[in-house]
């Protein structure tokens, strides 16, 4: 076997110009194949992160504001907060918090304007993969501030004149009463989000909200391990129902994307691209077979000489087959390297998945698929010439 490899490598070396030219198509096809799989993985990660920004990371359970089954009234916010604290403590949930929405007006240099507020807990940032362009997301210490902390959108920050966050820039919020708030972070530009928006912590919102706004009942989110999500979902529901007493409709649901059972929207594009890459690979293989067949016919004498010096028929078969495989594996490696360079390039990544939070390495499966495809093409393309080579009659070959 080692001898056959040595022989195949020597053949490849001697005919490298011809072989490399014939392998160009295979290398390009493998690059396309691996590239499509690699780009698909990155695009999928980008899509996953986008979905997690909306619905939270798997598994996110949501306790909706319970309502009285008779009167339809919502539960008392303070009573529900106590229930939340009790659940978090009992199940040692590290990432959890209430979410509600409100609004306030911010004083800009050219007048006040309304800003949509999302009232959250510090854990919300990790749970929803909130990205920060400038400054930082809330920390637990921000809850102790006398001036509420704000994370504002890019539009708000620019309208304020892009102040340096290191200087702790402040704005006046007009809610129930004017309040000075400190901007601690700025969100990246997002064309799909409201341009004038900001996040504020629950404690900060209490300082600016009217009593009616403060009385609105938040929903509570819990980021829990995926494998015990179903059990916890039922436990949290039972715990809340038990704490609130009879007559309350308590609803706990999964809201992360994994619970939606949606299909991958990129799947059709990926299938089309894979089919195109497969077609290129097939054409490359056909040209390879063609060239290999012509070459074997030209090498009849050489095969005869090798047979005369002790090469068995299986050995000749293996050597001719390996020649093809060695060559296509090299083409495959080149193709995969090309795919890695392209897929990892900042330009391509920025185009496919701008703002990707978790850096996705080039997927090993993409490299593996490329190499396996190249090897398979090499074996298939080598099969026919190898069969021709075995049928060479030694005597005729030497006289050829």
Partner 1 sequence: MALLSLEGVTRSVELPDGGRLEILRGIDLSVEAGDHLSIVGRSGSGKSTLLNLLGLLDTPTSGRIVFDGKPLERLAGARRDRARGRDVGFVFQQFNLLPGRTALENAMTPLLYAGGRQFWRRERIATDMLERVGLGHRLHSTPDRLSGGEQQRVAIARALVRGPRLILADEPTGALDVETGAAVMALLDDVSNASGAALITITHDPSIAAMARRRFRLDAGVLLPLDPVEPAEPAGPLEPGIPA
Tokens representing 385? 């010439």
Residue closer to partner 1 by CB (options 2, 359) is 2
What is the nearest approach in angstroms of partner 1 to the Cβ of residue 15?
A: 8
Cα separation, 11 vs 15, in Å, equals 6
- Interacting residues of 153 by C-beta distance below 8 A, sequence separation 6+: 186, 187, 190, 193, 194, 195, 196, 197, 198
Q: Which helix or strand (DSSP H or E) is residue 111 part of?
A: strand 111-120
Cα distances (Å, whole numbers) of residue 387 to 14, 309, 395: 22, 20, 18
Instruction: Give pairs for 202-206: CB < 8 Å, separation 24+.
Output: 202/97, 202/98, 202/100, 202/119, 202/120, 202/121, 202/143, 203/143, 203/148, 204/142, 204/143, 204/145, 204/148, 204/149, 204/150, 205/100, 205/102, 205/117, 205/119, 205/148
What is the nearest approach in angstroms of partner 1 to the Cβ of residue 319?
A: 9
Residue closer to partner 1 by CB (options 7, 49) is 7
* Residues lying near partner 1 in the complex (CB under 8 A): 2-3, 6-7, 10, 14-15, 301-302, 305-315, 394-395, 398-399
What is the nearest approach in angstroms of partner 1 to the Cβ of residue 381?
A: 22
Q: Residue 207 in 3-state DSSP?
A: helix
Residue closer to partner 1 by CB (options 22, 118) is 22
What is the nearest approach in angstroms of partner 1 to the Cβ of residue 287?
A: 22
Residue closer to partner 1 by CB (options 12, 362) is 12
Tokens representing 43? 């695009």
What is the nearest approach in angstroms of partner 1 to the Cβ of residue 395?
A: 5
Residue closer to partner 1 by CB (options 189, 300) is 300
- Interacting residues of 185 by C-beta distance below 8 A, sequence separation 6+: 132, 134, 135, 136, 137, 138, 151, 152, 165
Residue closer to partner 1 by CB (options 122, 304) is 304
Residue closer to partner 1 by CB (options 106, 322) is 322
Cα separation, 171 vs 291, in Å, equals 74
Complete DSSP assignment for 319-375: HHHHHHHHHHHHHHHHHHHHHHHHHHSHHHHHHHSTT-SSPPPPPHHHHHHHHHHHH
Give me the helices (H) in the chain, please. Answer: 2-14, 16-22, 24-55, 77-90, 124-127, 154-159, 202-208, 211-214, 229-244, 267-298, 300-308, 313-344, 346-352, 364-390, 394-399
What is the nearest approach in angstroms of partner 1 to the Cβ of residue 357?
A: 54
What is the nearest approach in angstroms of partner 1 to the Cβ of residue 300?
A: 12
What is the nearest approach in angstroms of partner 1 to the Cβ of residue 3?
A: 5
What is the nearest approach in angstroms of partner 1 to the Cβ of residue 374?
A: 25
What is the nearest approach in angstroms of partner 1 to the Cβ of residue 276?
A: 37
């Amino acid at each position: 076997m080692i001898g056959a490899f040595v022989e195949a490598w020597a053949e490849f070396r001697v005919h490298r110009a011809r072989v490399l030219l014939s392998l160009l198509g295979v290398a390009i096809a493998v690059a396309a194949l691996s590239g499509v799989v690699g780009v698909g993985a990155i695009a999928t990660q980008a899509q996953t992160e986008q979905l997690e920004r909306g619905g939270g990371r798997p598994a996110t359970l949501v306790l909706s504001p319970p309502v009285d089954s008779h009167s339809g009234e919502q539960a008392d916010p303070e009573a529900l907060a106590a229930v939340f604290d009790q659940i978090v403590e009992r199940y040692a949930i590290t990432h959890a918090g209430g979410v509600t929405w409100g609004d306030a007006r911010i004083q800009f240099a050219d007048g006040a304007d309304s800003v949509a507020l999302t009232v959250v807990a510090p854990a919300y940032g990790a749970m929803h993969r909130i990205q920060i362009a400038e400054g930082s997301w809330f920390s637990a210490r921000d809850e102790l501030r006398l001036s509420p902390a704000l994370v504002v959108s890019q539009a708000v920050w620019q309208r304020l004149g892009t102040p340096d966050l290191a200087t702790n820039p402040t704005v006046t919020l007009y809610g129930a009463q004017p309040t000075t708030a400190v901007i601690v972070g700025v969100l990246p530009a997002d064309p799909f989000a409201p341009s004038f928006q900001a996040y504020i912590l629950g404690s900060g919102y209490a300082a600016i909200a009217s009593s009616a706004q403060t009385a609105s009942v938040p929903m509570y989110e819990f980021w829990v391990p995926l494998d015990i999500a179903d059990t916890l979902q039922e436990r949290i529901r039972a715990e809340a129902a038990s704490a609130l007493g009879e007559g309350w409709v308590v609803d706990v649901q999964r809201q992360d994307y994994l619970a939606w059972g949606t299909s991958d929207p990129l799947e059709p594009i990926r299938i089309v691209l894979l089919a195109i890459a497969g077609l290129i690979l097939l054409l490359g293989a056909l040209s390879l077979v063609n060239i290999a067949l012509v070459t074997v016919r030209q090498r009849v004498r050489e095969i005869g000489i090798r047979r005369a010096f002790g090469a068995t028929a299986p050995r000749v078969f293996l050597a001719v087959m390996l020649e093809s495989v060695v060559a296509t594996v090299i083409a495959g490696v080149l193709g995969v390297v090309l795919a890695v360079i392209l897929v990892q390039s900042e330009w391509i990544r920025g185009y496919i998945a701008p703002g990707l939070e978790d850096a996705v390495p080039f997927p090993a499966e993409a490299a593996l698929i490329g190499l396996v495809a190249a090897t398979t093409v090499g074996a298939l393309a080598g099969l026919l010439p190898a069969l021709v080579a075995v049928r060479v009659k030694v005597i005729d070959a030497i006289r050829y």
